[in-house]
Structure 1
């Protein structure tokens, strides 16, 4: 391999899609999908098999990913803008001398689709989260017609990607990796933080023919909690055929990224963090898309991988309840950087790096829907909830309990015990924990009395 171009500080890359649920991976046991590159990343890294998105909606989760702050303190709803002056993880990396780059979907500039197509909305440079290099778009639901922009002043640009979105955005990231390699060869020791954010496998569920042709609706094995209702099952099968094809395309592109790191001789000094903003119900409980606290909507893949010396890594599975607010602190921890006080989340980097001191980890994770979207196939009321380390989930609307499951014995959430008097004491206990989260985070929500 020769002399490796290593700095004292590691690089880190985020790779994440939109609406990719945790259940839709080979390493999660899904029989419908073939994800060898993601599975390999998990096998050689740390796979957080209980990771979740505490607000299963695009804009709020993205705000939390970049800031480590809960949505009610940052981006509380769909098409809400990242607050002016709010620092992000890119600002922290910039201050530490890192090169920062962002490629792909942004959806944090507050643009409302009713005013026109968001793909043509230009996010001004001062609202690009502090990233020094930014090539992206506000929102776009057309993976074969994806427009990106960036630069500023005379160097600004706006153009249509020539092919499928995931492939083309990956090309941009790979080009950036090679640029970083050339700079390292010229004597620069500047490490980098790069983000690849793609819309797929978000609907519309379509992929390049080489991937789409491998999946047909009639061969899809649906989850046991998809009800025996013909229109629900037929839609789920149609959607999932394209969904799995898009995931396999993303998997292929992850393999290309890892190959490029090896070619650039940067593989042994680059963490790869693979995840999603939230999940997708796909007919489970007769529902579709997101904004629900059910497992298919809130559970996301989360893997910390990348080549590391054997003495400098942990591998295996972590059952930590890593939430959306924890992604930024954990990423900083992987690079040995201090987590700023304005971040709400927890640093879970010690689950990957043995030398990192394990921080105090909460015994539960906070779930929220602050401002409902009003979209079709969405929950039309605000809700709050928690998931505990011992496997219980509790969710309420304002003033009334809604859902309560023992996930240990009921992973498909078929038995709601929120109003079963046998579980009244447990409900009271979980409600108490939820009240602590509301108070601790400065949230405002009318909880049930008991």
Structure 2
């Protein structure tokens, strides 16, 4: 970080990240899911830019979050489950701090490496020096009980640790809204400082049960499953049961997004605040007979990614749907670009802010996104070996275990990935082409992985 503080960029905007856990891109009404109604997410998509091909480069909580904050790939930041983010590794919060921003984080962290066989992660206190550089931090390491969510923060005599009232998503949104009101009050008093804030909630992560009145809106028997969920009773019964609660949690998140938008408007900050909505990875929910994550199928790796807010109808702001293979490492530099800040050289990702801001210069973009499972979790219902892959802008996906091809799909003709071409000699040349691209990613990122022979 620089020794002196650079000036705040001219016309600096605020920015808020809003993201849940295991919210797959397919589970929004603007993306055609008939089981869910997400009017506020749909409004963001309609008034902003929606990257329809955004991916979680490592579909697992801790590695994704490490890459999200640092713009470093998982093998250089957080390579697996319950691995610690290196305390000396700079994050996007440090960059915003250095440019005169107030920075605030609310919610799930899961970057301190706490091993849950040692106790409940919700009771683990993340030390101030390991909170990613945020000037205000109210969060928790991990928690799988949304009605019994504990948060902590501060330090010394000002340290606190308490149980949130009610449902986690509601209570954490309340904290962010209080922060927004505080910022709005400071602006009215002539104390103007731009801010970068994060709202990170565990839902719609399992256990799949949302609050009333969201639960009960859909009966499991009425859920319409994706075409790639096999007609196996134990698979379909579980998928329907869990999806009913999953969609309730997503609709609750959408409702809270609406509350946040109203708060920004009331505080006089809506015209000056970018909203970036996304997720850390998806959830299989029975597709291909699988559940949860850590696999390379679309339901696990595709995530929503929307940039909206901040004067959506002015000429310098673009909107639309774009098939851009944005990855987890790209979110931090893109967010900095939205605020007129050049990403530092140590960030590995691409700044895609020009899709939203007409005034931002377009930079060279990769034609694919790099997919990884560096350290497998070993959990039940997850892939138990390391893999690497790519998804390309022209609609192909290729994924390998070490020295063995695993998946090859033409997503243009087979969006539900029902025809695996990885071992079909007819597609040998396509597999070779994609294998060379994948090797380029391995070399470019200084990764280590043995690909199969062409």
> What is aligned with 1:365?
369
Report whether the alignment pairs 1:256 with 2:259: yes
> Stretches of 4+ moved more than 6 A in 1?
none
Corresponding residue SS for 1:234: helix
Contact 1:104–1:197 (Cα < 8 Å) also in 2: yes
Which of residues 290, 293, 298 is equivalent to 2:296? 293
Contact 1:372–1:380 (Cα < 8 Å) also in 2: yes
Q: CA deviation at 1:122?
A: 0.2
Corresponding residue SS for 2:199: strand
> What is aligned with 2:387?
383
Q: CA deviation at 1:375?
A: 0.5
Report whether the alignment pairs 1:165 with 2:179: no
> What is aligned with 2:16?
13
Corresponding residue SS for 2:37: coil
Q: CA deviation at 1:389?
A: 1.0
> What is aligned with 1:3?
none
Report whether the alignment pairs 1:320 with 2:314: no
Structure 1 pair 143–219 and aligned structure 2 pair: CA distance change class (3 A): same
> What is aligned with 2:64?
61
> What is aligned with 1:114?
117
Report whether the alignment pairs 1:418 with 2:427: no
Residues in 1 aligned to 2:87 and 2:268: alpha-carbon distance in whole angstroms: 38
Q: Deviations over 1:217-253 (max 9, x none)?
A: 0110000000000000000000000000000000000
Contact 2:329–2:348 (Cα < 8 Å) also in 1: yes
Which of residues 31, 36, 57 is equivalent to 2:34? 31
Contact 2:210–2:248 (Cα < 8 Å) also in 1: yes
TM-score scaled by length of structure 1: 0.98
Report whether the alignment pairs 1:230 with 2:233: yes
Q: Deviations over 1:341-399 (max 9, x none)?
A: 11110000000000100110001110000000001110000000001111010000001
Report whether the alignment pairs 1:438 with 2:442: yes
Contact 2:14–2:195 (Cα < 8 Å) also in 1: yes
* Unaligned residue ranges in structure 2 (runs of 5+): 1-8
> What is aligned with 1:102?
105
Corresponding residue SS for 2:315: helix
CA RMSD of aligned residues (A): 0.9
Contact 2:376–2:385 (Cα < 8 Å) also in 1: yes
Residues in 2 aligned to 1:311 and 1:212: alpha-carbon distance in whole angstroms: 41
Report whether the alignment pairs 1:337 with 2:367: no
Q: Deviations over 1:266-324 (max 9, x none)?
A: 00000000000000000000000000000000000000011414222001111111111
Q: CA deviation at 1:187?
A: 1.3
TM-score scaled by length of structure 2: 0.97
Residues in 2 aligned to 1:90 and 1:133: alpha-carbon distance in whole angstroms: 10
Which of residues 264, 269, 272 is equivalent to 1:269? 272
Corresponding residue SS for 1:210: coil
Number of residue equivalences: 445
Report whether the alignment pairs 1:306 with 2:281: no
Residues in 1 aligned to 2:315 and 2:346: alpha-carbon distance in whole angstroms: 33
Residues in 2 aligned to 1:180 and 1:82: alpha-carbon distance in whole angstroms: 29
Residues in 2 aligned to 1:94 and 1:28: alpha-carbon distance in whole angstroms: 35
Corresponding residue SS for 2:147: coil
Q: CA deviation at 1:8?
A: 2.3
